[in-house]
Structure 1
């Protein structure tokens, strides 16, 4: 019996093909006629004859349409922005040829400027016009957040995403950000944002939040003037007399407030990004540096700055590398005695994961990649550091302290750039 093979599905038409067509095809959201009209509206936004004010007005009108459009029509708008607003290849080719021809002559500088201008796409100018009206930045950040999950399945959208990320890296440079302390006296709308965006240890109630903003705690966030009222990233800090080895006491609402006269250590126990649309734009490093300086000014006795961090990738990595019988012996880690060989073996595997495992020259674990990239070092592994269901699921309850030594941050970054993960001797001893 001959097997019947289903015909291969035809690739989707490009916007160029659709704009030249007469009829809508398959699942295309906008008909060719409406697609042409939509393109004309986008082109009008960047019309060189339109003033910045008029361009911004047209961009706002398009954003209003977009806000009410269904997902499929929004996707067509992305495709138009991505495929129809690239740089002019003829201008690039001509400018590059001229630049190469005048190397070493007095005209070289002017030729470089011409080439740079040729490389600026109409897409850049389009996105700049959207950013011009008051809610435009919010519009673009939300647009990219919606766009990101579609990139893997549709490579045509990559130019739009890359353009947005490049512009955001400039627009959200740390020089334009404001560090603010968040306290129990902050507006309720802002406190609600903390509850919504907390990504490491869920805030269970208002009393839980109040505990995290008590007198022995600090919470700081970076704010952008065009996204006022919403932090881009925030960090929660506990002020203690030693390096914390377990998250439970820090989240215990009934625990006594620490004696601030004895506080010598600042523990960064949660860092949360709030804007999915700003993925790839890094300001966590600057946030920690600014917070360290702010804390040192307020509390001169503070000498140690460290994290109490989860190890989110550990269990999944271990499942791929450790023998199955070993994995079974670790399923109830909280029941293992301090001298149990299974406990020491699990710590040894965790030390290897954090201290040796690299991907493209960077630490494999995402949280380790962030902190070590900022110049911290792996300081200590903590058994039962997070005994919650989430902690057990991620890392068998293990947590790690990353130490931020302000005098050695550059040294640690240099060490990491050479493919060596900075770590305390105690971590090395665990897997020797």
Structure 2
């Protein structure tokens, strides 16, 4: 159980004062609370030492949860008369943890949204060692999923004329294919390349997630030509295929909040309007879970190239539907893409060889069939091409 804040150290006194302020903010009648108090709490949370922050999370879990007896009484009352809507309303209100209202009121403070995203990042770092904080994580995820609903997000194109601070963040947060300095970034923003990012009105200068796109004549089979900073830009008349080759999250505190699936669809629609000649929208994606899975199979990873392709096809078609399947595959297939093609020798970087024996995969986004493919994946089936089927 969480320890009661001790009286001795400055951090103990800080935690005791912070908890008292949180209780005061939640107890204020009305929807707005005291914005000055909310801002003071936000500032206090940001200055907590590591161990004190852990204790603060534990108090949120214990002291700001719902009253079990009140929840039980409301549940019994609802069960006795479920046709009375006020009984359900009372049960819903009783079951909501007071910490959710605390987070809502903190969110209204200047800088409150960014502070809560930072708070969740800190919580996620501790969660594996402190599973008793899972209820607090559930509440934060629930609220952030609502506040960062794609309907509230702004899609912006990132180009060489974007503010330097934004360009620096793109370099820093690129998580799939590292950007090797400004020359590399400049090439990725040439006319045959695109970069789009989602922003939230409360974090206007911080990208939440961004995607990089290559405009090419045909479906790409290898990553090196797409990220070669010495390559020459292609003429616009050659554009036929849009290849989404990298998608990166910039906010660890928003992990698990659905953003990327909406981003790809929005960008595909935008590109279609800008460049009607585009016929195909696809990815060139890594298979980060393949080698680990392969090593657990009889025979391990020591296989011929042809057998690697067959094993990768099996992995993507039959393992992706499982909860611990390849995360990139699950993302695109759940997003409504079709498993289109496997590419040997597609990523010969150290990372590509280690994760997937150099293999990469194309997922096809057929804008007219996205919902059908998504529905089949939810039902446990991976929609795949004849080329992939021939490998099984």
1:172 is the counterpart of 2:154: no
Please report how far the alpha carbon of residue 30 of structure 1 lies from its aligned counterpart in structure 2 after TM superposition: 5.5
Match of 2:316 among 348, 354, 374: 354
Q: Which moved more, 1:380-389 or 1:146-155?
A: 146-155
State the match for 2:371 in structure 1: 410
Matches within 5 A, 1:124-203: 124-203=100-179
Structure 2 residue 247 is the aligned partner of structure 1 residue 304 = no
CA deviation digits over 1:392-419, x for unaligned, max 9? 1111111100000011111112221222
Deviation at 1:259, TM superposition (A): 1.6
- Rg comparison, structure with higher value: 1
Q: Distance in 1 between matches of 2:148 and 2:342?
A: 35
Q: What secondary structure does 1:239 align onto?
A: strand
Whether the 8 Å contact between 2:241 and 2:279 is mirrored in structure 1 is: yes
Shift of 1:49: 4.4
CA contact (8 A) 2:321 2:380 kept: no
Q: How does 1:413-428 map to 2 (within 5 A)?
A: 413-428=374-389
1:123: which partner in 2? 99
Is structure 2 residue 234 aligned with structure 1 residue 258? yes
RMSD (CA atoms): 1.9
Q: Which runs of 5+ in 1 are unaligned?
A: 1-12, 331-341
For 1:64 and 1:417, locate their aligned partners in 2 and report how far apart those are by CA, in whole Å. Answer: 43
Given candidates 48, 51, 55, the residue that maps to 2:28 is 48
Deviation at 1:58, TM superposition (A): 1.4
TM-score normalised by length of structure 1: 0.86
1:375 is matched with 336
Q: TM-score, normalised by structure 2?
A: 0.95
Q: Check the 8 A contact 1:29/1:73 in 2, yes or no.
A: no
Question: 1:88 Cα deviation (Å)?
Answer: 1.9
Residues 1:23 and 1:188: Cα distance change in structure 2 (over 3 Å): closer
Partner residue of 2:2? 14
Match of 1:72?
51
Deviation by residue 1:146-188 (Cα, 9 ceiling, x = unmatched): 1112112212211111110000010000110011100010000
Q: Hey, what's the Cα distance between the residues in 1 that align with 2:187 and 2:379? A: 42
In 1, Cα distance between the equivalents of 2:50 and 2:219? 48
The change in CA–CA distance for 1:161 and 1:60 in structure 2 (over 3 A counts) is: same
2:321–2:330 CA contact under 8 A, matched in 1: no
SS in 2 for 1:113: helix
SS at match of 1:44: helix
Provide, for residues 20-40 of structure 1, a one-character-per-residue CA deviation record: whole Å limited to 9, x for no partner: xx788xxx9965x76544321
1:394 and 2:374 aligned: no
2:299 maps to 323
Alpha-carbon shift at residue 127 of structure 1 (Å): 0.5
Pick the aligned partner of 2:36 from 57, 67, 75.
Answer: 57
For residue 19 of structure 2, what is the aligned residue in structure 1?
A: 39
1:245 aligns with 2:221: yes
Match of 2:74 in 1: 95
